[in-house]
Amino acid sequence: MTQAPIDAPIDTAEEVATARAEGRAVVALESTVIAHGLPWPDNLHAAEAIEAAVREAGAVPATVALADGRLRIGLDPDTLQRLARGGVPVMKVSRRDFGAVLASRALGATTVAGTMAAAALAGIATMATGGLGGVHRGAESSFDISADLAELARTPVAVVCSGAKSILDLPRTLELLETLGVPLVGYGCARLPAFYLRESEHPVPARADSPEEAAAILAAQWSLGLGGGALVANPPPAAAALDPARFAGWLAEAEQEAADQGVAGKAVTPFLLSRLHVLSGGATLAANRALLIENARLAGRIAAALARPRAPETGAPESGASESA
């Protein structure tokens, strides 16, 4: 894993730095869900609950953002409030955006790709999010493909999520993940979860039924030095998951509205998610919050399993080795 230069503009929270130095489990958390994914004050409450879930699982949370010309690995309450409350513009930060946001000293929330890049710089090998970005419908003409996929291909961080977002072209997303050589592990499932939905029709190539099994797969992959990250797909909690038929109807209506209003490019995803919230009577928001917390909890358990020493004959890394793979 590439480490940041000594003089890089990075501020690592003391708790995170101590955990890293002691070889304890750390989980990186993205911040776009705080700034752009959920409304105030639900976003702040969700951020606090997500960090609490990581702690309950035996790991230290490290929410990532950019503020005042610094990359922050682990946020203080004041910065969380600034991201959540709004009132000032918050930039979406992927790998390409770090320089511009740092130089302007703007407030920036990291996407999955941005959080992966930051986690790798900080020596953190596990992160949690809600849903992965992927290939958008109509990408054969628009070329609208999330940077998350390219980041997974080159950055050795395991992303725990509830599969790819339901509004995406799932078959093409899976095809591109395979082409890029990204390991995909279904957690307790044989079919890919689809964000709000517990499963899609698409099988996953590997399965793990415990955090230890997932950690063993990740450790074995990284032990070969092949580079790149991995995807652990965790179905949303059954109580919060949506009915597939009803969701399909809401999505079709939202997509038609987007087309009628000429919504395109980066504006499509937030538009669709906003309309789905309204059309579902808030069910998508409840599902999103529930799966975010469960994914954080699972990421904490996997990170804790990765940090534990393993018997030499397994070929897995010793304590802390996975966090700097």
Q: Nearest CA to 210 among 195, 226, 177, 232?
A: 232
Which amino acid belongs to residue 203? P
DSSP-based helix, strand, coil % in the chain, nearest 5: 50, 15, 35
Residue 20 CA to residue 58 CA, distance in Å, equals 14
Question: Could you say which of 30, 51, 199, 323 is catalytic?
Answer: 30
Instruction: Note whether 9 and 104 are within 8 A (CB).
Output: no
Asked about 165 being catalytic, the answer comes back as yes
Residue 93 CA to residue 112 CA, distance in Å, equals 9
Asked about 92 being catalytic, the answer comes back as no
Q: Which two tokens stand for residue 154?
A: 């080159």
What's phi and psi for 61, nearest 5 deg?
A: -80, 145
Q: How far is CA 34 from the centre of its chain?
A: 12
What's phi and psi for 184, nearest 5 deg?
A: -125, 120
The count of residues in the chain is 325
Question: Could you say which of 15, 92, 151, 165 is catalytic?
Answer: 165
Burial class (CB in 10 A: 0-12, 13-18, 19+), 115: buried
Indicate the SS3 state at residue 262: coil
Place of tokens 């509830």: 162
Place of tokens 């730095």: 17
Residues 6+ apart with CB under 8 A from 190: 203, 204, 207
Instruction: Note whether 36 and 92 are within 8 A (CB).
Output: yes
Which amino acid belongs to residue 228? G
Any idea which residues carry the catalytic annotation? 30, 165
